[in-house]
């Protein structure tokens, strides 16, 4: 099962010379199941590159049906702004299942608003794919991969997702704020024993303490504390601030590794085989 990070930036796309290592695209992560279907977490700007890859693979395979399962954590713009540019949306061969922690009609309304006449030249109902809107419910299994969710602390709400198969799992928990003292015990229980935990490292502890409390984001330090408490195998710091250069992310990662040695920083284009770690 291949996991790929297509975007690791938070708040706003930041493609600059000093962000080229970790990338400027906003949040998008995919897992390719053994059956070749894609499970995608969020549709930030990184989803555009993913869409191109999916359609290229479909063409190479003989233009058969394409099935994509998109899990939305919430509807803040940096997590959905790539949706109108997702190539499979415009293909009659594609079926796009869209899951979110709200009623299906609400999900459709929000995404249709993103593609309304004033903002985009093609309305959602004019795209040629088949679209199915669903609420993420307990017990969901997609292509042999179990999918579960956990509420996070974030303005207007957000959720973490856990994708699990064969005893291996990846938890994506961007857009969350740690408590004033201790750790988020609910999230720690949800992420317990995960192979990889992708966590919100938007701010440094100093930035957070100075002016960012209540913004719904966390720090690399809180990430290491949560990872240790949840006993995950690896921590991936993500949702990088648009103000953080590659050099700064390198420094934050070095600091994190002094506390939790199995830490990494999310990097646009990075893929790994979840079945191997």
Chain-centroid distance, C-alpha 212: 22
| Residue 78 near residue 11 (C-beta atoms within 8 A) | yes
Q: Give the separation between CA 28 and CA 77, rounded to whole angstroms.
A: 13
In CATH, what is the architecture of 2-276?
A: 4-Layer Sandwich (3.60)
Q: Report residue 34's pLDDT band, with 50, 70 and 90 as the boundaries.
A: confident
Task: Report the pLDDT averaged over residues 104-115.
Answer: 98
Position 59 scores a pLDDT of 93
Q: What φ, ψ does residue 242 adopt, rounded to 5°?
A: -65, -15
Position 265 scores a pLDDT of 98
| Residue 21 near residue 248 (C-beta atoms within 8 A) | no
Q: What is the total residue count of the chain?
A: 277
| Residue 204 near residue 220 (C-beta atoms within 8 A) | yes
Nearest CA-CA partner of 68 in 112, 131, 115: 131
Task: Report the pLDDT averaged over residues 111-126.
Answer: 96
pTM of this prediction exceeds 0.75 = yes
Position 63 scores a pLDDT of 76
Task: Report the pLDDT averaged over residues 253-264.
Answer: 98
Decide: helix, strand or coil at residue 191: helix
| Residue 192 near residue 164 (C-beta atoms within 8 A) | no
Q: Give the separation between CA 82 and CA 86, rounded to whole angstroms.
A: 7
Q: What φ, ψ does residue 68 adopt, rounded to 5°?
A: -125, 135
DSSP, res 33:
-
Q: Any idea of the CA torsion for 13, 16, 20, 25, to the nearest 10 degrees? A: 10
pLDDT at residue 248 tops 90: yes
């Amino acid at each position: 099962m291949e996991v790929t990070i297509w975007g690791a930036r938070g708040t706003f796309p930041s493609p600059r010379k000093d962000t080229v290592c970790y990338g400027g695209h906003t949040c998008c992560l995919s897992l390719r199941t053994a059956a070749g279907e894609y499970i995608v977490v969020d549709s930030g700007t990184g989803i555009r590159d993913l869409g191109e890859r999916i359609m290229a693979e479909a063409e190479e395979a003989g233009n058969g049906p394409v099935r994509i399962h998109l899990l939305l954590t919430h509807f803040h713009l940096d997590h959905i702004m790539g949706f109108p540019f997702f190539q499979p949306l415009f293909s009659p061969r594609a079926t796009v299942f869209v899951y979110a922690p709200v009623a299906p009609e609400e999900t459709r309304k929000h995404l249709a608003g993103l593609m309304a006449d004033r903002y985009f030249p093609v309305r959602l109902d004019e795209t040629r794919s088949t679209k199915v809107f669903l609420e993420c419910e307990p017990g969901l299994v997609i292509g042999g991969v179990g999918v579960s969710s956990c509420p996070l602390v974030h303005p207007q709400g957000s959720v973490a997702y856990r994708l699990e198969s064969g005893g291996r799992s990846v938890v994506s928990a961007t857009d969350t704020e740690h408590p004033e003292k201790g750790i988020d015990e609910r999230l720690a229980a949800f992420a317990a024993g995960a192979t990889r935990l992708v966590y919100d490292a938007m701010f440094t502890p100093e930035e957070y303490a100075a002016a960012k409390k209540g913004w719904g984001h966390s720090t690399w330090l809180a990430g290491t504390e949560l990872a240790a408490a949840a006993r995950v195998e690896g921590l991936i710091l993500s949702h990088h601030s648009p103000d953080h250069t590659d050099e700064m992310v390198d420094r934050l990662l070095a600091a994190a590794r002094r506390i939790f040695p199995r830490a990494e920083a999310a990097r646009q284009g990075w893929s790994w085989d979840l079945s191997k770690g």
